[in-house]
Every structure is written in C-alpha cells, then in structure tokens.
Structure 1
Amino acid sequence: MDPFLALLNSFSSNLSEGELGSLKFLCRGEIGKKKLESVQSARELFSILMEQGQLSRHKVTFLESLLTSIKREDLVLRLKQFVEEGEVNAPDNEPDAHEKRRLKAAIKVISDNVGREWKQLMRELDFTDVQMERVMAANPQNLREQLVQSLREWQKCKGKDAKVTDLIQALRGCKMNLVADRVEQELQLMNTGTR
C-alpha cells in the first residue's frame, strides 16, 4: 500500500463533517462548485486535489495550509513528520543520513538565532519571494516557524545537493557570522560525540 495514500485515508477518517465542510469552502478557488457539492468525504476531496495536481506525495504545502486553516495542528504535525521521515521525497534525491543529521542540527541553530532577517538569509540561498510568501501564508504570525519551514522547503528543493556548508556560506554572505560560528560549533560537538 502507498504510505502517502494511507496517510490521506487516515486523515479522512479523522475529520468531522464540519471540518470537511470547512475544507470544501477553502477549496472553492481550486475546485468548481458542482464538483465540490458532490464531495461526501475528505477522501474524495483529496482525490480531486490529486487529479488537479494540487496534492501529491511530492507536493503537500497546499494540504498543510488547509489543515492549518481548520486548526488541525495534530494532522499538520503528522504530515510534517511524514515529510521529515523522507516518505515524500524520492530516496535517491536525498542527502545521506549523516548530512541529514547535520542539516537538522544546523536548521535548529539557525531557527534559534536568526530573527527578522530570515528573508535575507533565504534570498542568499536562492529561495524565491513566491516560495517565502507561500510559507508565510501557511504560518502567519509565527516568525520562527516561517524560517524553519523555509529552510525545510529549501532542503527539499535541493534534494541530495542540500549541504550544511551552503547554509554556513549563506549566513556569512548575510554577515550573520555569529550564527554561522554557532552552526560550526554545533557540528563540531556532533563530530566529537558530545551531541
């Protein structure tokens, strides 16, 4: 069984009728009125979104924003865990396990230490304004989460070419040398086994 379809099926059985109604309303710009009226379950709604290319195992941002809008943070968390565990990305286009651990540590340090200047950093990483707008819309009022999700999106887009050295270089390019130093210190601690 496809793990992504199993996840969507699980989401469908966890959504109430009221939540389904909210999801249908939020999809009015994406799906025609007639088609929406015939939808009886979240499973059907997900199928339509998949048919229209709004949702796939490699494209979950729209689903995440829908679930966030109806305040189902539990499902958003499950979706993020699914993505983080590499189920969404093709395994041959991911950094190796060692680099993934390093990236995860670097993202934590960066998100703990970079504040309002996060857009400057993302631009240095060639992350587009459109991509940033999408992340900001999905995480309004939460600066830290906007940065974390932007970095994860960057990592996903880069695939196996995502490297911690790129993050450090971008930090230095933005004159965020203190944060770059902290990332390097964290990586040294990981290498010596104290982390």
Structure 2
Amino acid sequence: MDPFLTLLHSFSSSLSDSELSSLKFLCRGKIGKRKLESVRSGGELFSILLEQQLIRSGEVSFLEGLLASIKREDLVSQLKHFVEEGEANAPDDQPDVHEKRLLKAAFEVICENVGRDWKIVMRKLGFSEVKMDRVVAANPFNLREQLAQSLREWQKWKGRDAKVTDLIKALRGCNMNLVADRVEQKLLSLNTGTR
C-alpha cells in the first residue's frame, strides 16, 4: 500500500464538512467549478489534486499550504513528519543511511550556530528565494525552524547529491568558519564513535 495515499486517507477522514468546503474554495483557481461541486469528501478532492499533479509523494508544498490555510496545524505537522522520515521520496534518490546520519548531525550544529544569516548559507547552497519565502511564511516567528526546514527541503531537493561536504563548503564560503569547524568536529566524533 502506498504510504502517501494512506496519509491522505487519514487526512480525509479527519476533515469536517466546513474544512472540506474551505479546501474546495481554496482550490478554485486550480480545479474547475463543476468538478469541485461534485466533490463530497477529502479523498475525492485529494484524488483530483493527485490527477492534476498538484500534490504527489515528493511534492507536498501545495497540500501543506492548503492545510495551513484551514488552520489544521496537526495535519501540517503529520505531513512534515512524513516528509522528514523520507517516506515522501523514492529510496533510490535519497542519500545513503550513513550520509543521512551525517547530514542530520550537521543540520543540528548549523541550526544551533547559524542565526539570522541563515539565508546567506541557503543561497550559497543554491536554494531558491521562492522556497525560502515559503519556509518563512510557514514558520513566521521561529528562526531556528526556518533554517531547519530549509535544510530539510535542500536535502530533499538534492536527493542523493546532498552531501555534508557541500554544507561545510557553503559555510566557509559565507565566512562562517567557526560553524564549519564545529560541523567537522561533530562528524569526526560520530565517525570515531565518541560524543
């Protein structure tokens, strides 16, 4: 069974009638009026969105925006968790287990040590302004979460090409040598088995 469809099914069953109406209203620019009028459940709406490729396992930003608009933060966080667990992307396009572990450790260090200048690092990594704006809109008052989510999005975007060496190079390119050194120390401690 497709884990993404299972997730959508659980979302569908938790939507109230008024929430479904709101979702249908928000989709008016993407789905024709006649088609929307025939929708009676969240599952039917998600089916149309899947058919039109507005949502799919590897691209959930439209769905995330819809759920955030109807103030269903619980579903947004389930969706983010689904994406973070790597279930959203095909396993052959993901970094290997070892690289994922290193990336996660590097992300922790970067989130602890890079503050307001996080966008400079993300630009250095080739992350688009549009994606950064989307992340900021989703987390308007949480700087650390903006950075953490941007790093996860970058990893998703790069797939198996997401490497810790790119992060370190970007940090050094932004004159954040201390943070780059801390990332390297953390990775060294992981590789030698110390904490």
Please state how far the C-alpha of 1:63 moved relative to its aligned partner: 1.0
Aligned equivalent of 1:135: 135
* Equivalent residues in 2 for 1:45-60, closer than 5 Å: 45-60=45-60
Letter in 1 for 2:41: S
Tell me what 1:65 maps to.
65
Q: TM-score, normalized by length of structure 2? A: 0.92
* Counterpart residue identity of residue 149, structure 1: Q
- For residues 105-184 of structure 1, the aligned pairs below 5 Å read 105-184=105-184
Amino acid at match of 2:10: S
**Distance of 1:24 and 1:142 partners within structure 2:** 30
Q: Which amino acid aligns with 2:19?
A: E
**Distance (whole Å) between structure 2 residues aligned to residue 30 and residue 110 of structure 1:** 38
How many aligned residue pairs are there? Answer: 195
3-state SS of 1:30 partner = coil
> Where do 5+ consecutive residues of structure 2 fail to align?
none
Relative to 1, partners in 2 of residues 1:19 and 1:77: Cα closer, same or farther, differing over 3 Å?
A: same
Which letter does structure 1 place at the counterpart of 2:51?
Answer: E
Separation in 2 of the partners of 1:155 and 1:41?
Answer: 34
Q: Distance in 1 between matches of 2:35 and 2:193?
A: 56
Amino acid of the structure 1 residue aligned with 2:39: V
Residue 101 of structure 1 corresponds to 101
Deviates more, 1:118-127 or 1:20-29: 20-29
Q: Cα offset for 1:78? A: 1.8
One-letter identity of the residue aligned with 2:91:
P
Per-residue deviation, residues 80-133 of structure 1 (Å, max 9, x unmatched):
222222221111111110110111111122122212211111110011112222
Aligned-residue offset at 1:3: 1.3
Cα shift at 1:167: 0.3
CA distance in 2, matches of 1:174, 1:106: 16
- CA RMSD, Structure 1 to Structure 2 (Å): 1.6
Q: Structure 1 residues 157 and 193, CA, compared in 2 at 3 Å: closer, same or farther?
A: same
Deviation at 1:34?
2.9
State the match for 1:7 in structure 2. Answer: 7
Instruction: Look up the SS of the partner of 1:53 in the other structure.
Output: coil
Task: Tell me the equivalent position of 1:187.
Answer: 187
- What SS is found at the alignment partner of 1:67? helix
Cα gap change, 1:26/1:138 in structure 2, threshold over 3 Å: closer, same or farther?
farther
